[in-house]
Structure 1
């Protein structure tokens, strides 16, 4: 039985989006007096939304996220983030004007609503531009700004020989989003530089299609650890977010991705566990298939243990 499509959330989001842009337009009108402002602004917003919808629909039927999809999504997110910041500073200015207006009610001349300060709108526009620049940096360069975060875990029942045992964990590679193999190699070198006893990859090797990882098999297969390299699947790895020609194609894609895990030198744990031994003592490493409400509830922890 198919789940009924609920139109109400879509209408609410659309109404909020239109209101946000109308509010932003009112701020821009403070510093831009051209008659072309209103039509130009709404045409730009319409093109932004239409391009996003079209590319999403195209990707759903193609089986993969191509560069056009990434451009459309990134452009929308960049502009939307900038709009939120612009609207926030605009709102701060309007609240300040409202407070001044209320306090003016106690003055002899009575209540009066102050006009928006062009300087404050200019400042909001500067913050809009800075937000866009930061997002562009994050999308183009920031995604390769790898860093190591270290945590120490404590277990009352940890075997003595595993005291000081180290592991390196990475997640959400989303190989289809990579565009710079040299930058990826720097990440691989950073992983190996940790010289950890164990390596684990915890899901989302690709965005949708197994072929996304092919150009980087030579990179990720360099990862080595004395006690092995293990992995699990993430929600994106199952190919649930695109439309496949047939169910058989979707299954084939998943089977191919599992094979690529082996090519990388990763032991893929599918609701199963392995024993790790050190000087006669053992610990268990369990891996489950993806489980998350709304993201595919496939994993079986009891089976894995």
Structure 2
């Protein structure tokens, strides 16, 4: 109860400060009433859904939009607060200098100018949030990469792979928009489609209404998939072994029904003109203590010989190069952890390309490739959070995700369809 009181006091203290902009620009009591009614309704709505969520209610679209409304309303207000706080500091300094000049008109005029400027700046995040919630989450981007390998079998020179990740069907709404995304995947006419986990938010049953949409994926040489941390049922059923087991069985059936070959610490061989490459898939494994740790590189590569060309699907990018120092004793008993799991960089068998997802790019950030700008708050948790990375002659690609989770939108970090073309030899200068 105390934290709720503190949160409410903090929100409305900041809200009152932001309200000074409105007071400066208008004397209409109707506008004042609308301002405060809207703030109260958004906060009460958020508290209602959040309270039910912490009591064990499943995360629904209502929860997502409660978060969205709160951020959409109060992030712009935070900009108002910053501007007005800065103005108050200047105002205080000016007052101390001019306290005997009685120049109040100067203060009033400047206050109005700063208030208008603050509203103009606050309109930018407001418009961004509205766009992200209504359109941005369906703004599918096809991002293409060409990778060169000396040891790529000649028959696979020019081989195309489409990676998708993090569908999160429990969050999706518009079948028409999602069907367009599926069609966009198929338009790439890739040889393989690889899905790197999190097809649901928490339960396999979330996919029931989406089977007829996602079974339309097409690829010449097949479709392969793995599980992500959200696919095990832990977020719905906690430590209930029987319910988790039942969810796992349903999950495996879901992948079959949409035509994906689900790899659970396993591998498949793709043959072409007498040569082959291997597709590996591990169950979820990452450095965080909060997520399932059931992946095993050794199990997935037990039928793989040295010198073969391997592409690995591993949902969490921290699996790529985590340090043993990141783990502690608490991790050992967490979700059936594979205790001796090596990271991918130092694994004894060569893995030329690893495909991951998981981060979503936090669904929020700024990417301006032409200016070399790429930033999201998630980088402070996952240094390798989106795009292509290279380390020790091994590549890692982190997909930004096909769907969305919790916040029902994307701002600056758009849903991604990745197309990777494999080329034999070295890239020309």
Both proteins in one fold, TM over 0.5: yes
CA distance in 2, matches of 1:135, 1:177: 17
Q: Which moved more, 1:292-301 or 1:266-275?
A: 292-301
Q: Which moved more, 1:125-134 or 1:150-159?
A: 125-134
* TM-score of the aligned structures, taking structure 2 as reference length: 0.58
- Is 2:63 the partner of 1:66? no
Residue 224 of structure 1: aligned partner: 218
Residue 286 of structure 1: aligned partner: 280
CA distance in 2, matches of 1:56, 1:253: 25
Residue 84 of structure 1: aligned partner: 78
Q: Which moved more, 1:293-302 or 1:140-149?
A: 293-302
- Which protein has greater RCO, CA pairs closer than 8 Å, 6+ apart? 2
Shift in CA distance, 252/60, structure 1 to aligned 2, threshold 3 Å: farther
- Decide which of 188, 191, 195 is 2:182's aligned counterpart: 188
CA distance in 1, matches of 2:148, 2:74: 42
Richer in strand (by share): 2
Shift in CA distance, 138/165, structure 1 to aligned 2, threshold 3 Å: same
Report how far residue 158 of structure 1 moved: 1.5
Residue 291 of structure 2: aligned partner: 296
Report how far residue 301 of structure 1 moved: 2.7
Residue 42 of structure 2: aligned partner: 48
Question: Would you say the 8 A contact 1:61–1:243 is kept in 2?
Answer: no
* TM-score of the aligned structures, taking structure 1 as reference length: 0.79
Which segments of 5 or more consecutive residues in structure 1 lack a partner in the other structure? 1-6
Residue 3 of structure 1: aligned partner: none
Report how far residue 272 of structure 1 moved: 2.0
Q: Which moved more, 1:64-73 or 1:199-208?
A: 64-73
Residue 240 of structure 1: aligned partner: 234
Question: Would you say the 8 A contact 1:210–1:253 is kept in 2?
Answer: yes
Question: Would you say the 8 A contact 2:225–2:281 is kept in 1?
Answer: yes
Report how far residue 147 of structure 1 moved: 1.8
Report how far residue 195 of structure 1 moved: 0.3
Shift in CA distance, 210/61, structure 1 to aligned 2, threshold 3 Å: farther
Could you list the per-position Cα deviations for residues 137-156 of structure 1 after superposition, in whole angstroms to 9, with x for gaps in the alignment? 22122211212010112223
Residue 139 of structure 1: aligned partner: 133
Could you list the per-position Cα deviations for residues 174-223 of structure 1 after superposition, in whole angstroms to 9, with x for gaps in the alignment? 11222211111111111111000110111221122222221121111111
Question: Would you say the 8 A contact 1:289–1:300 is kept in 2?
Answer: yes
Report how far residue 126 of structure 1 moved: 3.6
Shift in CA distance, 85/290, structure 1 to aligned 2, threshold 3 Å: farther
Question: Would you say the 8 A contact 2:268–2:278 is kept in 1?
Answer: yes
CA distance in 1, matches of 2:31, 2:177: 41
Shift in CA distance, 89/274, structure 1 to aligned 2, threshold 3 Å: farther
Shift in CA distance, 14/57, structure 1 to aligned 2, threshold 3 Å: closer
Question: Would you say the 8 A contact 2:203–2:236 is kept in 1?
Answer: no
- Is 2:167 the partner of 1:173? yes
Q: Which moved more, 1:13-22 or 1:157-166?
A: 13-22
Question: Would you say the 8 A contact 2:198–2:231 is kept in 1?
Answer: yes
- Decide which of 256, 260, 271 is 2:254's aligned counterpart: 260
Report how far residue 82 of structure 1 moved: 2.0
Could you list the per-position Cα deviations for residues 114-153 of structure 1 after superposition, in whole angstroms to 9, with x for gaps in the alignment? 5652132123224334432331222122211212010112
CA distance in 2, matches of 1:279, 1:122: 68
CA distance in 2, matches of 1:159, 1:226: 18
Q: Which moved more, 1:65-74 or 1:189-198?
A: 65-74
Report how far residue 304 of structure 1 moved: 2.3
Residues paired across the two proteins, number = 296
- Is 2:122 the partner of 1:128? yes
Q: Which moved more, 1:63-72 or 1:39-48?
A: 39-48
Report how far residue 60 of structure 1 moved: 5.3
SS of the residue aligned with 1:152?
strand
SS of the residue aligned with 1:208?
coil
- Is 2:268 the partner of 1:274? yes
Shift in CA distance, 219/151, structure 1 to aligned 2, threshold 3 Å: same
Which segments of 5 or more consecutive residues in structure 2 lack a partner in the other structure? 302-429
Residue 203 of structure 1: aligned partner: 197
